[in-house]
């Protein structure tokens, strides 16, 4: 670890920057020189004092708060506690060349996943051919038997997917996980960009940054393109669990920016297999539902009978093809972390191509041999439940005590199917403004990309959500676990 | 538009208006008490504030004495009191949030700022700021929010539902203010009601509806009791007069239901029928039994609100 020399840090906001060569720093190279694509930003920041930054940071925070760009953290408090998703003013920059590769890789991956979903709910060739073990799919909590032989409009299951990437110390991008149920966070991408444009407009002018504001338009076009056949002007809605949901801000933001209705389960009803919403002028038919409710809750008649969030009879209308659901039910069978291991094979199988993006090597606790390795090398591994999100239930070997390790060993053995392990990846670090330090410090980041698949179209949001683990040394970037985010710039091709 | 959203917008309008009137009434009364004629002791005025805001009974259950600081806290920040200003603002914001995608960012942001102001204010802050600054802020925030309602929204159905809420609640609040003041006046022994005391009561009554300046312009005289109630009940051009507010309702209902026909069991017909009686009314007809008239008016307003809910807001 080397405390960097003054020659690179004229600016006092970089005074306490401690570089660690174990990790790849996105902004500085191994010798502490600023990477070329960050030079403009760095030069601009050089004009700021620590005080300026404090003010700028404060202003950005207040604007998020007033706009209500907050999320609820589940807690003892009934309504949850409202928090701002911390936003960092130092943008993460990706060169066009690097981005092209990411974009191609993400599309490739999601096309293959979509083909895989179609297959496992129809002929199941990939299982019959032994590429993916059948019991892995059938034992998945998210494999949805209601979806067998159902044909979603245009054969699309994964309309919206969020692929999480990290940059390892070897300088390569790796896919950390796929999110194909209802990936969240895109509203932060758009709001971060707005906040950035407002706070650092000069900097923005001098860099050629590709826009992200077309996302809402693209999303609406995607949703409309998969409406049931014979519907000329489809009525599309977003279905939210309600305003106490942690992502309610995002639901309302997306509805507003697409100009479509935000509905709750109680606003909808099904009659003769058609879905209607209750308006002041009587029932109005609904053709496409972008639902932000988990499979289990969308239809109390078919799934969880206690669900007050869903719409009784919705699955019946869906199976009849009278309404489309975004994403299709049952997509969770493909973003299961145990299935993740097979994605490179899945890409080869359906597309006959080599995967562009790498997978992190994954050990499945289900396999005896791999389990043995996991149990013997726990201190070197991250162990995760395959079917949970939000960073819950994760075990990180390097920071665990003997006792914790012993306890977790028991947890794994009690349900081997549920756990996978990966080597602890050295997530890259990025200069991040730290309030208490009054300056920049390196923090670990990842990148969530957003990919849309519609009728004859695919689209990847140019940039995505760079999530930052704000706690020093922490590798967990989830917002519910003290993560923040950065605006992510993809530079125009030179 | 979804019935649920219409319901949220309607109640957003009502809660905002409720908070505004409670704040203004408290402000005007609390400060007029400082230089009131002898008959108006402090406790009397605090009780009046509790009556108008609908807090008197609850307050007396919880507290033995009517204490300045406790009254101010109860009506403004007490979270356990469902009719406190804070609770009204929280509900207005909750309704706005539920209808977030149907209103403009400007309107939402103004309501959200309002909410944060009230929720960041502690009992200690209230004491430090004083009731004047606190209530003044509330009234000011309401004016900002109302500005955004009219200037940043499409004047369509959503806007009409907010306004129905505002006008119904405002009629309700003005009626309650009148009732509460008239009871005050009657409490003071009729024979001792000097001209000065009458004038004092009329001024505070008018100020509670932000009507003092305009009524002077209108009557060009110091307010007397008859002119004051006439102004607040029957004026056609003053936006806080009951007649003015009720006469607007048909216009907003027309924004929602475009059919020109007013069928005899329709909502429009029923509301029109109730409101039109206020159009053709003279102060002489109601002056003698004014309280009875005002209680009937409260009933009428409730009836309109019920009819509206039945037709549009159930989901």
Q: Which among A66, A255, A266 is the nearest to B4, CB-wise?
A: A266
Angle at A114 between CA A110 and CA A119, to 5 degrees: 145
- Residues of A whose CB is below 8 A from B109: 66-68
CB contact (8 A) between residue B3 and residue A243:
no
**What is the distance in angstroms between the Cα of B154 and the nearest Cα belonging to chain A?**
13
CB contact (8 A) between residue A248 and residue B315:
no
Beta-carbon contacts of residue A65 (< 8 Å; ≥ 6 apart): A84, B116
CB contact (8 A) between residue B98 and residue A68:
no
Q: At what angle do helices B195-208 and B212-219 cross, to 10 degrees?
A: 120
> What's the CA gap between B76 and B86, in Å, rounded?
6
Q: Which residue of B has its CA nearest to A256?
A: B101
pLDDT, mean of residues A247-264: 93
ipTM higher than the 0.85 cut: no
Neighbours of B271 (CB within 10 A): 22
For residue A76, what is the DSSP state? S
Average pLDDT, chain A: 89
For residue range A381-427, what is the model confidence (pLDDT) as tens digits?
Answer: 989 887 776 667 888 888 888 999 999 999 999 989 889 898 888 89
pLDDT at position A324 over 80: yes
Q: Where are the domains of chain B?
A: 3-313
**B76, B6, B5, B4: which is closest to B255 by C-alpha?**
B6
For residue A209, what is the DSSP state? B
The pLDDT of residue A8: 45
Evaluate the CA torsion angle B16, B17, B18, B23 in order and state its sign. positive
**What is the distance in angstroms between the Cα of A492 and the nearest Cα belonging to chain B?**
31
C-beta of residue A265 within 8 angstroms of C-beta of residue A293: yes
Q: Which residue of A has its CA nearest to B96?
A: A243
For chains A and B, CB pairs below 8 A equal 56
As its CATH architecture, domain A361-423 has 2-Layer Sandwich (3.30)
- Residues of A whose CB is below 8 A from B157: 280
- Residues of B whose CB is below 8 A from A191: none
pTM, full prediction: 0.86
Q: Which among B2, B112, B113 is the nearest to A261, CB-wise?
A: B2
> What's the CA gap between A465 and A461, in Å, rounded?
10
**What is the distance in angstroms between the Cα of A71 and the nearest Cα belonging to chain B?**
13
- Residues of A whose CB is below 8 A from B112: 66-68
CB contact (8 A) between residue B3 and residue A278:
yes
Q: Which among A67, A252, A263 is the nearest to B2, CB-wise?
A: A263
Q: Where are the domains of chain A?
A: 97-192+207-351, 361-423
Q: Which residue of B has its CA nearest to A253?
A: B101
In chain B, which residues touch A (CB < 8 A)? Answer: 1-6, 94, 97-98, 100-101, 105, 108-109, 112-113, 116, 157, 256, 312-313, 315
**What is the distance in angstroms between the Cα of B155 and the nearest Cα belonging to chain A?**
17
Q: Which residue of B has its CA nearest to A277?
A: B2
Angle at A147 between CA A261 and CA A115, to 5 degrees: 90
Token pair 């004009």 is found at A47
pLDDT, mean of residues A113-123: 97
The pLDDT of residue B145: 98
Torsion angle, alpha carbons of B97, B102, B105, B111, to 10: -40
Q: Between the CA of residue A199 and those of A87, A89, A295, B171, what are the distances in Å?
A: 12, 8, 40, 45
CB contact (8 A) between residue B4 and residue A267:
yes
pLDDT at position A52 over 60: yes
- Residues of B whose CB is below 8 A from A255: 101
Q: Which two tokens stand for residue A280?
A: 């002041």
For residue range A219-240, what is the model confidence (pLDDT) as tens digits?
Answer: 999 999 999 988 989 999 999 9
Q: Between the CA of residue A417 and those of A57, A359, A439, B67, B119, what are the distances in Å?
A: 45, 20, 45, 66, 47
For the domain made up of A97-192+207-351, give the CATH fold.
Answer: Rossmann fold (3.40.50)
For residue range B81-130, what is the model confidence (pLDDT) as tens digits?
Answer: 999 999 999 999 999 999 999 999 999 999 999 999 998 888 999 988 88
CB contact (8 A) between residue B116 and residue A65:
yes
**What is the distance in angstroms between the Cα of A130 and the nearest Cα belonging to chain B?**
48
- Report residue B68's pLDDT band, with 50, 70 and 90 as the boundaries: confident
- Residues of A whose CB is below 8 A from B2: 261, 263, 267, 277-280
Neighbours of A214 (CB within 10 A): 13
For residue range A355-385, what is the model confidence (pLDDT) as tens digits?
Answer: 999 999 889 888 899 999 999 999 889 898 8
Q: How many CA atoms lie within 13 A of A379 on its CB side?
A: 3
Which of B2, B118, B312 is the best mutation test for A, with the most CBs of A within 10 A?
B2
| Interface residue A72 vs chain B (CB under 8 A) | no
C-beta of residue A180 within 8 angstroms of C-beta of residue A334: yes
| Interface residue A209 vs chain B (CB under 8 A) | no
Name the percent of chain A in helix, strand, coil, to the closest 5.
Answer: 35, 25, 40
- Report residue B39's pLDDT band, with 50, 70 and 90 as the boundaries: low
For residue range B149-175, what is the model confidence (pLDDT) as tens digits?
Answer: 999 999 999 999 999 999 999 999 999
**What is the distance in angstroms between the Cα of B135 and the nearest Cα belonging to chain A?**
21
pLDDT, mean of residues A24-41: 91
**What is the distance in angstroms between the Cα of B219 and the nearest Cα belonging to chain A?**
44
pLDDT, mean of residues A173-199: 91
For residue range B206-228, what is the model confidence (pLDDT) as tens digits?
Answer: 999 999 999 999 999 888 899 99
pLDDT at position A5 over 70: no
pLDDT at position A61 over 90: no
The pLDDT of residue B40: 59
For residue range B244-280, what is the model confidence (pLDDT) as tens digits?
Answer: 999 999 999 999 987 766 678 889 999 999 999 999 9
Q: Which residue of B has its CA nearest to A245?
A: B98
> What's the CA gap between B237 and B220, in Å, rounded?
16
| Interface residue A198 vs chain B (CB under 8 A) | no
pLDDT at position A10 over 60: no
- Residues of A whose CB is below 8 A from B6: 280
Output B249-256 pairs: Cβ under 8 A, ≥24 positions apart. Answer: B249/B164, B249/B167, B249/B168, B249/B275, B249/B304, B250/B275, B252/B160, B252/B161, B252/B163, B252/B164, B252/B167, B253/B160, B253/B164, B255/B155, B255/B156, B255/B157, B255/B159, B255/B160, B256/A280, B256/B157, B256/B160, B256/B161, B256/B312
C-beta of residue B268 within 8 angstroms of C-beta of residue B312: no
Whether A361-423 and A97-192+207-351 are alike in CATH topology: the answer is no
**What is the distance in angstroms between the Cα of A95 and the nearest Cα belonging to chain B?**
33
Q: Which residue of A has its CA nearest to B101?
A: A256
The pLDDT of residue A7: 42
CB contact (8 A) between residue B98 and residue A243:
yes
**What is the distance in angstroms between the Cα of A315 and the nearest Cα belonging to chain B?**
22
């Amino acid at each position: 670890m080397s405390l960097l020399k003054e020659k690179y840090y004229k600016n006092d906001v970089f005074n306490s920057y401690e570089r660690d060569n174990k990790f790849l720093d996105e902004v500085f190279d191994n010798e502490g020189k600023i990477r070329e694509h960050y030079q403009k930003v760095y030069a601009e920041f050089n004009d700021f004092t620590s005080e300026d930054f404090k003010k700028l940071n404060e202003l950005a925070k207040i604007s998020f708060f007033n706009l209500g760009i907050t999320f609820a953290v589940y807690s003892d408090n009934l309504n949850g506690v409202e928090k701002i998703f911390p936003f960092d003013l130092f943008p993460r920059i990706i060169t066009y060349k690097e981005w092209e590769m990411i974009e191609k890789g993400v599309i490739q991956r999601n096309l293959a996943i979509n083909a895989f979903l179609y297959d496992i709910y129809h002929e199941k060739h990939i299982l019959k051919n032994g590429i993916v073990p059948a019991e892995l799919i059938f034992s998945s909590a998210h494999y949805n038997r209601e979806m067998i032989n159902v044909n979603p409009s245009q054969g699309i299951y994964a309309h919206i997917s969020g692929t999480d990437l990290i940059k390892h110390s070897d300088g390569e991008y790796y896919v950390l996980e796929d999110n194909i149920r209802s990936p969240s966070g895109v509203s932060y991408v758009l709001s971060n960009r707005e906040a950035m444009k407002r706070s650092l407009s000069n900097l923005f002018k001098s860099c050629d940054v590709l826009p992200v504001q077309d996302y809402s338009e693209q999303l609406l076009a995607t949703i409309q393109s998969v409406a049931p056949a014979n519907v000329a002007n489809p009525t599309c809605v977003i279905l939210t669990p309600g305003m106490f949901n942690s992502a309610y801000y995002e639901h309302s933001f997306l509805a507003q920016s697409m100009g479509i209705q935000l509905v709750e389960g109680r606003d909808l009803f099904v009659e003769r297999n058609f879905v209607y919403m209750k308006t002041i002028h009587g029932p109005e038919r609904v053709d496409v539902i972008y639902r932000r409710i988990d499979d289990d809750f969308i239809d109390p008649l078919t799934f969880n009978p206690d669900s007050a969030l869903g719409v009784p009879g919705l699955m019946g209308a869906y199976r009849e093809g009278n309404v489309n659901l975004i994403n299709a039910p049952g997509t969770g069978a493909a973003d299961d972390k145990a299935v993740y291991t097979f994605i490179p094979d899945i890409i080869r199988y359906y597309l006959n191509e080599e995967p562009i993006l790498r997978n992190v090597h994954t050990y499945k606790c289900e396999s005896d041999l791999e389990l043995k390795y996991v149990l013997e090398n726990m201190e070197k591994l991250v162990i995760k439940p395959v079917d949970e999100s939000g960073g819950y239930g994760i075990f990180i070997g390097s920071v665990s005590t003997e006792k914790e390790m012993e306890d977790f060993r028991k947890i794994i053995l009690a349900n081997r199917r549920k756990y996978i392990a990966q080597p602890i990846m050295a997530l890259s670090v990025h200069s991040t403004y730290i309030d208490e330090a009054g300056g920049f410090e390196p923090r670990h980041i990842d990148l969530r990309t957003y990919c849309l698949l519609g009728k004859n179209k695919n689209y990847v949001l140019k940039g995505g959500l760079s999530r930052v683990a704000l706690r020093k040394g922490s590798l967990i970037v989830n917002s519910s676990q003290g993560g923040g985010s950065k605006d992510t710039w993809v530079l125009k091709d030179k | 538009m979804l019935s649920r959203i219409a319901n949220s917008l309607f109640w957003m309008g009502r809660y905002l208006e409720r908070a505004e009137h409670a704040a203004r009434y408290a402000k005007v009364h609390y400060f007029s008490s400082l230089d009131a004629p002898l008959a108006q002791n402090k406790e009397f005025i605090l009780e009046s504030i509790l009556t108008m805001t609908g807090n008197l009974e609850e307050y007396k259950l919880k507290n033995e004495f009517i204490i300045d600081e406790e009254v101010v806290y109860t009506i403004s920040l007490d979270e356990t009191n469902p009719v406190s200003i804070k609770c009204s603002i929280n509900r207005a914001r909750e309704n706005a949030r539920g209808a977030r995608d149907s209103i403009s960012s400007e309107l939402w942001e103004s309501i959200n700022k309002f909410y944060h102001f009230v929720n960041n204010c502690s009992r200690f802050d209230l004491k430090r700021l004083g009731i004047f600054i606190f209530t003044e802020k509330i009234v000011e925030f309401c004016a900002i929010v109302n500005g955004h309602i009219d200037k940043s929204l499409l004047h369509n159905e959503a806007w009409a539902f907010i306004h129905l809420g505002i006008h119904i609640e405002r009629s309700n609040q003005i009626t309650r203010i009148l009732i509460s003041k008239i009871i005050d006046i009657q409490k003071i022994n009729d024979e001792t009601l000097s001209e000065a005391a009458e004038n004092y009561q009329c001024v505070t009554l008018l100020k509670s509806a932000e009507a003092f300046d305009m009524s002077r312009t209108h009557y060009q005289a110091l307010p007397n009791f008859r002119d004051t109630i006439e102004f607040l009940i029957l004026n056609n051009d003053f936006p806080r007069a009951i007649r003015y507010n009720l006469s607007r309702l048909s216009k907003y209902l027309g924004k929602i239901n475009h059919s020109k026909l007013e069928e005899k069991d329709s909502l429009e017909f029923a509301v029109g029928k109730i409101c039109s009686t206020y159009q053709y009314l003279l102060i002489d007809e109601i002056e003698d039994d004014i309280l009875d008239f005002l209680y009937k008016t409260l009933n009428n307003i409730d009836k309109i609100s019920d009819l509206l809910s039945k037709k549009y807001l159930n989901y």
